[in-house]
A = this chain, B = another copy of it.
Amino acid sequence: MKIAVLGSGFIARFYAESLHAQRRKDYIHMVYSRNRVNAAKFAEDYQLSFFTFDMWEAISHPETEVVLIALPNHLHLEAVLACAKAKKAVLCTKPLGRNAKEAKEMLDAVEDAGIFAGYLEDLCYTPKFLKSVKSIEDGNIGRVLWTKSRETHPGPHSDWFWDKEKSGGGAIIDLGCHCVEIGRNFIGKEIRPLEVMCWADTQVHPIEAEDHAIGLVKYNNGAIGQFEVSWTFRGGMDLRDEVMGTEGTIWLNSFLRTGFEMFTTGKGNSYVAEKAESNSGWLFPVGDEAHELGYPHMFTDMFDSMEKGIPPRETFYDGYIVNAILDAAFLSAKTKKWEAVIIEDWRGEQASAISEKFQDFDEYHFLIKKEILPSGVSKLILKHKITGEVTQREE
Contact = CB atoms under 8 A, between A and B. Distances in A.
A145 B248 contact: no
Contact of A260 (B159, B245, B252, B278): B252
Contacts of A235: 248-249, 263, 282
A268 interface: yes
A24 interface: yes
Contact of A300 (B22, B26, B201, B234): B22
A350 interface: no
A219 to B, nearest CB: 11
Contacts of A258: 258-259
Interface of A: 21-26, 126-132, 135, 138-142, 145-146, 152, 154-155, 157-160, 162-163, 197, 199, 201, 203-208, 212, 214, 216, 218, 222, 224, 226, 230, 232-236, 244-254, 257-272, 274, 277-278, 280-288, 291, 296-297, 299-300, 303-304, 336-338, 357-359, 366-369, 371, 374, 376, 379, 381, 383, 388, 390-392
Given A281-B280, A366-B206, A369-B155, A127 B259 contact: no
B244 A218 contact: no
Contacts of A207: 368, 383, 390
A162 B390 contact: yes
A368 to B, nearest CB: 5
B368 A205 contact: yes
Chain B CB within 10 A, most for which of A21, A155, A249: A249
Given A24-B24, A226-B214, A232-B244, A270 B162 contact: no
| Number of identical monomers bound together in the oligomeric complex | 4
Contacts of A218: 199
Nearest to A337: B337
Contacts of A226: 214
A282 B159 CA distance: 28
Contacts of A383: 162, 206-207
B248 A297 contact: no
Contact of A24 (B25, B138, B254, B299): B25
A391 B278 CA distance: 24
Contacts of A252: 259-261
A268 B247 contact: yes
Given A259-B252, A268-B141, A388 B208 contact: yes
A315 to B, nearest CB: 20
Chain B CB within 10 A, most for which of A24, A128, A369: A369
A155 to B, nearest CB: 4
A140 B264 contact: yes
B203 A222 contact: yes
Given A141-B263, A157-B379, A234-B265, 7 more contacts: A128-B285, A129-B287, A135-B270, A158-B392, A235-B249, A235-B263, A247-B268
Contacts of A266: 247
Chain B CB within 10 A, most for which of A129, A266, A287: A287
Contact of A126 (B244, B287, B338): B287
Given A263-B249, A272-B135, A374-B271, A369 B282 contact: no
